Structure 1
Amino acid sequence: MTDAIAEFDRQLDHLVALGHPALAGTTETAFRDGLAPLREVIATRPDAAVERGEDHIPFVLVPTGFPREEAMSRTALGNRQGFTVLEPGELTTFRPIEGITVPVGSGYLLFDIDTGTEFLNVTPQDALVKITADGRSPLTIDEGIALITVRPDMLRKNKCFSLLASRCGDKRVPAVWISDRRPKLGWCWNGNPHTWLGSAHAGERVGA
């Protein structure tokens, strides 16, 4: 489990270096202390060190309580900063869909993540049916931002992904993709397929 714990520490250090404690309105010490119990969770999970192909990530640390537009601005591809076309007030209207329970607390772990390239050129509505039938969960906006924050290499040209677990009551589905060589948080229609846009999914959410 040494590699998995080292990866947890790397993700946490990266969030601190990007200024997430201040973004959360707290100190670095309090930020680290709030997420420290999750490090113990990693130590109990043999699957935290298992990778299954280029679309797969064993786990991602998902801190909570951040303004989404600010968190998105801290993502990057190389030195090119991420952005969103959604207004701050608009972003707050996207909430987890029915059946998605997000752990409470300072943050949680998302396990067994797949960026969903099998759903390239599949409509989000059809992808959601298959994902849930397989006993898996789509990702929320916050989880998608967390993923590309600590693993920007998973946001790849022509292999970007929708975030089906966050909706605001209309037919829009949030997604992250590359625009002008920058990470972009935008949206696409629920019934429209895109050859360059899959649907990310995960196995489990675990809190402290």
Structure 2
Amino acid sequence: MPETSSTTAVTPLPPLAAQAEHLIELGVHELAGIPADELRAFAAGNADGGADGALLAVHPDRAPASALASLLRHAGKPGFVVTDMPDVDAFAPYGITLPDAPLYLVAGPDRGDHMANWSPEEALPALTGQGRTPLLLTEGIHWVIQQPAVLERNRCFMTIGSRLRKANGALDARTPAIWISNGTGRDGRERRNAPKVGWCWWGNRHTWLGFGSASDRRHQGASRPPA
């Protein structure tokens, strides 16, 4: 295995109620077709359920990556999807069963700095062997929306829980990642320092990309406001 790097500390996530309000402010509830009160009720119903430090996520079927990416912010600039990833929403959970609900919790998200300079091919079995589950692309986007400081120069991350299955059944060699644009090439100079949703090859290593993962996913507590 490649050498590991030190892990950079990341501040705790906001309380679930604050996460819900932030999503509402951004209009994510409208995008997902979820009433604002339902989103608030879900957060309130999980506040005392051992959900400290959990990320509130919207199911990707309700809020796809292409719609969420523009809500990312870094250095005052909005996020974007690279031009050669028009099929970004076709990257689906791979080997992962999501809660059958529009809203769920992602527990213990970690950026995986210690796996910088590993390839996705090397990182996946290591993560699962540790009892962790790789983040989906949409979960990674939700995380940066709620906690922009997660994205740092030379400390960004891949989201290899999302893969694309080709028409012939084979897996596409691209694996999604979230990092910070240098404003070069097709990104455009005006996007320098903007959050970027892109991809890397399954077998390649990058010293500046860790692997986002979680301890588990769950759906619990109230998801609908009282009548």
| TM-score, structure 2 as length reference | 0.78
2:19 paired residue among 11, 29, 32 = 11
Offset from partner CA, 1:87-143 (integer Å, 9 cap, x none): 785122211112x11112221110111100001011111011110001110000110
In the other structure, the counterpart of 2:224 is none
Give the secondary-structure state (helix, strand or coil) at the position aligned to 2:98.
coil
In the other structure, the counterpart of 2:4 is none
Higher alpha-carbon Rg: 2
**Is the CA contact (8 Å cut-off) linking 2:117 and 2:210 kept in structure 1?**
yes
Equivalent residues in 2 for 1:111-190, closer than 5 Å: 111-168=107-164, 169-179=171-181, 180-190=192-202
In the other structure, the counterpart of 1:44 is 49
Structure 1 stretches of 4+ moved >4 Å? 86-89
Cα RMSD between the aligned structures?
2.0
Cα distance 1:88–1:196, how it changes in 2: closer, same or farther (>3 A)? closer
Aligned length: 191
Cα distance 1:125–1:112, how it changes in 2: closer, same or farther (>3 A)? same
- Structure with greater proportional strand content: 1
User: Which 5+ residue runs of structure 2 have no aligned equivalent?
Assistant: 1-11, 165-170, 182-191, 221-227
Cα distance 1:35–1:165, how it changes in 2: closer, same or farther (>3 A)? farther
Once the two structures are aligned, what percentage of the paired residues are identical?
34
Cα distance 1:79–1:123, how it changes in 2: closer, same or farther (>3 A)? same
Give the secondary-structure state (helix, strand or coil) at the position aligned to 2:100.
coil
| TM-score, structure 1 as length reference | 0.85
> Looking at both structures, which has the greater relative contact order when contacts are Cα pairs under 8 Å and sequence separation is at least 6?
2
2:77 is equivalent to residue 80 of structure 1? yes
**Is the CA contact (8 Å cut-off) linking 1:68 and 1:88 kept in structure 2?**
no
Q: How far is the alpha carbon of 1:19 from its aligned partner?
A: 1.5
1:92 paired residue among 89, 93, 115 = 89
Cα distance 1:101–1:84, how it changes in 2: closer, same or farther (>3 A)? same
Q: How far is the alpha carbon of 1:31 from its aligned partner?
A: 3.1
Q: How far is the alpha carbon of 1:25 from its aligned partner?
A: 3.8
- Cα distance in 2 for partners of 1:206, 1:38 equals 13
Give the secondary-structure state (helix, strand or coil) at the position aligned to 1:177.
strand
Q: How far is the alpha carbon of 1:40 from its aligned partner?
A: 2.1
